Structure 1
Amino acid sequence: MHRSRLFGVLIDSPAADADAAVAFWAAALGGPTRSSAEEPEYTRIHAGPPDLALVVQSVDDSPRYHLDIETDDVAAESARLIGLGAELVTDHGGHKILRAPGGHLICVVPVQSAEDLFAADSLAWPSA
């Protein structure tokens, strides 16, 4: 058995537009922002539900939105979603990028939330 939960909504913005995207979304949603030197491509906006991450991600690609699903077993959760109709796009080892039916991207990532939040808010799934 493994567990997973929706961790966040990511607003993917081309690198050249990322600062403007952060400023826009922070002002539009009324939340302060936080980024880190370790992962400068991610800027979190503190607005909306406290248990859902809202992040602007600087990308070398087209603008879009994607979801992050966090899990205590990346391989098992990826297999579950693929069984539901998703397709593997990229396997980065520690996380996987999938494409859901309809074309939307999903990143399956290790647990990012605080342990108590993940334990309280995640769903259990039988592993194959």
Structure 2
Amino acid sequence: MIIRWTYAFADRPAERLPEARAFWTAVTGTHASEPRGEQGEFMTLLPPQAAGTDACVKLQGVTEGDGGAHLDLCTEDVRKLTGTARELGAEPVADHGDWAVLRSPAGQLFCAVPWHGESVRPPVVAGSRLDQVCLDIPPSAYAAESAFWAGLTGWQRLTGSRPEFEVLKPPAGLPVRILLQRLDAERPASAHLDLACADIATVRARHEKHGAVPLSSGPHWTVMRDPAGGIYCLTGRDPHTGGLPDATERTTVA
């Protein structure tokens, strides 16, 4: 297995990073690490030490655009992972020596980073778990992009609850799934975070208490905006397994 751990990044405008930090630590039951990076742009959301678990969510302050989300893929061999990604169609963006930034065929940024032995995902907090990065893909790029992520991860590929969704389900123990969403209209690829919620209404009320605003709702999801302006979703999935209660995800033939 090339990918040994995953981090979901909430990317937010640098000037609003304090708001993002306050909100995301509150709703995930974590505390933020000391800032890292040349501009103090990186923070890790750390579970309580007593939980005996490893982090899987980070924040990044960005200086261009409104932010969004991206994945860090942790591996014992960064060069091997970046080489595989490039063979599958990714483009290199920045080489930092022991880690690298790449761009998927549809234009989504992601990082290949060293694995530091993380192995135990954080617990469910107040009926929810941040466990999914949704890649929002324009129709013209969907086939190539979904094939890229399936090939890069080697994860189980499942059809979703609606025709526009596919899920890449990681091996047991890895903390973050990938949801592939085919958009209705052409626009640049982007990404957002999803939380699995035992009860969306209860989790939504808790998030609103910490400053989030609901924007719209679907059959089993609610779109929210956090206090730093980032869009994310509360989804009606089992926070322990990540699956839908009615088990509508099923294996698809690649």
TM-score range, shorter chain: 0.7 to 0.9
Aligned to 1:126: none
Aligned to 1:111: 115
Aligned to 2:81: 77
Aligned to 1:56: 59
CA distance in 2: counterparts of 1:79 and 1:72, whole angstroms: 13
Tell me which of the two structures has the higher relative contact order, counting C-alpha pairs closer than 8 angstroms and 6 or more residues apart. 1
1:87 deviates by 1.0
- Provide the aligned length of Structure 1 versus Structure 2: 115
Q: Deviations over 1:83-128 (max 9, x none)?
A: 11211111111111001122211110111333xx29x968xxxxxx
What root-mean-square deviation, in Å, do the aligned CA atoms of Structure 1 and Structure 2 show?
A: 2.7
Relative to 1, partners in 2 of residues 1:76 and 1:18: Cα closer, same or farther, differing over 3 Å? Answer: same
Matched AA of 1:101: P
After TM superposition, the runs of 4+ consecutive aligned structure 1 residues lying more than 6 A away are: none
Unaligned runs of 5+ residues in structure 1 are 123-128
Secondary structure in 1 aligned to 2:93?
strand
Relative to 1, partners in 2 of residues 1:42 and 1:112: Cα closer, same or farther, differing over 3 Å? Answer: farther
Aligned to 1:34: 32
1:76 deviates by 0.9
Identity within the alignment, %: 33
TM-score scaled by structure 2?
0.40
Aligned to 1:14: 13
Q: Give the number of the structure whose alpha-carbon radius of gyration is greater.
A: 2
Relative to 1, partners in 2 of residues 1:30 and 1:74: Cα closer, same or farther, differing over 3 Å? Answer: closer
More helix by share: 1
Unaligned runs of 5+ residues in structure 2 are 48-52, 121-171, 175-254
Matched AA of 1:56: L
TM-score scaled by structure 1?
0.73
